[in-house]
């Protein structure tokens, strides 16, 4: 049994990358992702990881280099946050269209302006439609596990897609937690060497990233969409395999105390931890409340989501990004649309909370629960409310 060691979550994340024995890392430091790349560059400098560490002059270059190394057949990792993701966005979309199985940790941070380095999900929502597999971890152990499994999923020949592991900045990245680090032997059994389907090889020339005229572009998009959707059963299969190996099982949608719950909170990422504490207290107080955590954001796990919604009357969605002038936060919009075809769907109350590092404590969940009950009772559940804003 490997032992749990107290370490900063960023260090745990870099341990997963080291154990995955990546061949290439290209990254540009940005708060709060910095400790991950710093630690990885130390591994490479100390000879603990036999990889090319390519320091670049921007995130646009980081993702461009990653596309190149991945296309050449190298297991490739990068990580970024916020403005860095915004700068590399052009190439993020290209990586998925070219089906380059890059693994990226996104240390979630709000987008400017105003300039802020703190945590929310505005950065990941910028690239919601980028075609990457996008998953959220709730604590340090999950980040370690999801990152290791991400390589296997991304490189599986039934998938071959880039994988983004979302990790809340500061709340996770800078916090010391007990993390169980697997040994190399176990990892090697789980994660085979990267065997690309196609790679840049002078002896077998191929064209990657070709131009598509209007007579083919639509087919390429359909293909990309089908590939991403088809990754879902493989993700489940590999997470199951990882669970059999470690005892830690991951699912696209996870619930906590959902049995008999009339109302469920919906969270993504580290907010799930606080929400479960809040659920514990409210349950003790006799409220029929539970929690539903969306772990896999893309491809969206509709079946698992619908299953989790059976018998639920109300949903309280905690969004961590705003869609200015739109129908609600991105998560609630998605949830409402997913519920549209369901018979007797639960009512949805959307709160935008925890923007740019503003704390959402267990008491705040209780307050949102109360407010949601009021709104449901009054029949006013349209749109969204920015929780805790000073009026």
Partner 1 sequence: MKPVDQMTWKDLNIGCVITEAGNAAQYKSGDWRSMRPVWDKDRCIQCGVCYIYCPDAAIYKTEDNYFEADLYYCKGCGICVKECITGAIRLVEEEE
Helix (H) or strand (E) holding 91: helix 82-97
**Cβ 205 to partner 1, closest distance in Å?**
4
For residue 93, count CB atoms less than 10 angstroms from its CB and return exposed for 0-12, middle for 13-18, buried for 19 or more.
Answer: middle
Choices 84-92, 121-129, 207-215, 281-289 (CB under 8 A): range interacting with partner 1: 207-215
**Does position 201 bind partner 1 by CB under 8 A?**
no
- According to DSSP, the β-strands at 263-267 and 4-8 are unpaired
* Alpha-carbon gap, residue 166 to 32, rounded angstroms: 12
CB of 218 to partner 1, least distance (A): 8
User: Minimum distance between the CB of residue 90 and partner 1, rounded to whole angstroms?
Assistant: 17
Q: Is 97 in the site for partner 1 (CB under 8 A)?
A: yes
DSSP state of 332: H
Query: Residue 208, interface with partner 1 (CB under 8 A)?
Result: yes
User: 167-206: b or e for each residue (b if 16 or more CB lie within 10 Å)?
Assistant: bbbbbbbbeebebbbbeeeebeebbeebebeeeeeeeeee
Alpha carbon distances (Å) from 191 to 5, 75, 240: 22, 12, 14
Is residue 100 a contact residue for partner 1 (CB under 8 A)?
yes
**Could you tell me the smallest distance in angstroms from the CB atom of residue 221 to partner 1?**
8
Q: Does 207 bind partner 1 (CB under 8 A)?
A: yes
Among residues 42, 90, 219, 244, the one that binds partner 1 under rule CB under 8 A: 219
Give yes or no for a contact between 375 and 384, defined as CB atoms under 8 angstroms apart.
no
The CA angle 345-301-76, to the nearest 5 degrees, is 155
Check residue 213 for interaction with partner 1 (CB under 8 A).
Answer: yes
> Residue 63 or 160: which CB sits closer to partner 1?
160
Choose, by CB under 8 A, the member of 48, 226, 244, 359 that binds partner 1.
226
263-267 β-sheet, strand order: 253-256, 289-294, 263-267, 314-319, 347-352, 385-386
Rule CB under 8 A: choose which of 98, 130, 165, 360 binds partner 1.
Answer: 98
Interacting residue with partner 1 among 197, 259, 343, 377 (CB under 8 A): 197
Q: How far apart are CA 216 and CA 93, in angstroms?
A: 18
| Under 8 Å between Cβ of 347 and 381 | yes
- Select from 69, 82, 99, 139 the one that contacts partner 1 (CB under 8 A): 99
User: Closest approach of Cβ 210 to partner 1, in Å?
Assistant: 5
Count of residues of this chain found to bind partner 1 when the rule CB under 8 A is applied: 22
Q: Which stretch binds partner 1 (CB under 8 A): 113-121, 199-207, 249-257, 258-266?
A: 199-207
Q: At what angle do helices 271-284 and 362-378 cross, to 10 degrees?
A: 70
Q: How far is the CB of 215 from partner 1 (least distance, A)?
A: 4
* Cβ closest to partner 1, residue 1 vs residue 210: 210
Q: Contact, 142 vs 241, CB < 8 A?
A: no
Considering only 86, 135, 160, 253, the residue that binds partner 1 (CB under 8 A) is 160
To partner 1, the closest distance from the beta carbon of 208 in angstroms equals: 6
DSSP 199: -
Query: Which residue among 45, 216, 342, 361 contacts partner 1 (CB under 8 A)?
Result: 216
Cβ burial of 236 (10 Å; 0-12, 13-18, 19+) is: middle
Residue 229 interacts with partner 1 (CB under 8 A)? no
Contacts of 319 (CB under 8 A, 6+ apart): 121, 328, 329, 330, 331, 332, 350, 351, 352, 353, 384
Question: Which residue of 58, 112, 184, 220 would you call a contact of partner 1, by CB under 8 A?
Answer: 220
Piece of the chain touching partner 1 by CB under 8 A; list 3-11, 94-102, 177-185, 339-347: 94-102
Instruction: Tell me which residues touch partner 1 (CB under 8 A).
Output: 97-100, 160, 197-198, 205-208, 210, 212-213, 215-216, 219-220, 222-223, 226-227
């Amino acid at each position: 049994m490997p032992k749990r060691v107290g370490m900063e979550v960023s260090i745990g994340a870099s341990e997963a990358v080291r154990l995955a024995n990546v061949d290439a890392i290209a990254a540009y430091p940005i708060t709060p992702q910095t400790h991950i790349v710093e630690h990885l560059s130390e591994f490479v400098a100390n000879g603990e990881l036999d990889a090319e560490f390519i320091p670049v002059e921007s995130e646009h270059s980081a993702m461009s280099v990653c596309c190149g190394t991945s296309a050449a057949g190298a297991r490739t990792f990068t990580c970024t946050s916020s403005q860095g993701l915004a700068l590399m966005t052009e190439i993020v979309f290209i990586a998925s269209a070219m089906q380059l199985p890059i693994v990226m940790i996104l240390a979630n941070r709000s987008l400017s302006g105003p300039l802020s380095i703190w945590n929310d999900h505005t950065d990941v929502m910028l690239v919601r439609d980028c075609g990457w597999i996008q998953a959220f971890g709730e604590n340090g152990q999950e980040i370690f596990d999801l990152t290791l499994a991400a390589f296997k999923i991304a490189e599986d020949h039934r998938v071959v897609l880039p994988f983004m592991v979302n990790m809340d900045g500061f709340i996770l990245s800078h916090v010391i937690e007990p993390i169980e680090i697997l040994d190399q032997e176990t990892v090697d059994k789980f994660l085979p060497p990267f065997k690309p389907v196609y790679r840049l090889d002078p002896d077998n020339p191929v064209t990657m990233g070709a131009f598509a005229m209007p007579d083919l572009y639509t087919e390429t998009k359909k293909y990309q969409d089908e590939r991403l959707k088809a990754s879902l059963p493989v993700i489940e299969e590999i997470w199951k395999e990882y669970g059999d190996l470690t005892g830690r099982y991951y699912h696209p949608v996870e619930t906590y105390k959902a049995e008999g719950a009339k109302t469920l909170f919906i969270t993504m990422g580290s907010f799930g931890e606080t929400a479960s504490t809040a659920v514990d207290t409210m349950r003790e107080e006799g409220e029929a409340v539970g929690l539903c955590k969306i772990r896999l954001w893309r491809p969206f796990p509709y079946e698992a989501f619908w299953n989790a919604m059976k018998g639920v009357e109300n949903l309280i969605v905690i969004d961590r990004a705003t869609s200015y002038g739109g129908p609600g936060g991105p998560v609630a919009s998605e949830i409402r649309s997913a519920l549209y075809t369901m018979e007797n769907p639960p009512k949805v109350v959307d709160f935008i909370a925890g923007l740019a590092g503003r704390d959402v404590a267990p008491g705040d969940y209780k307050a949102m629960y109360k407010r949601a009950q009021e709104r449901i009772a009054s029949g006013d559940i349209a749109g969204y409310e920015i929780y805790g804003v000073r009026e």
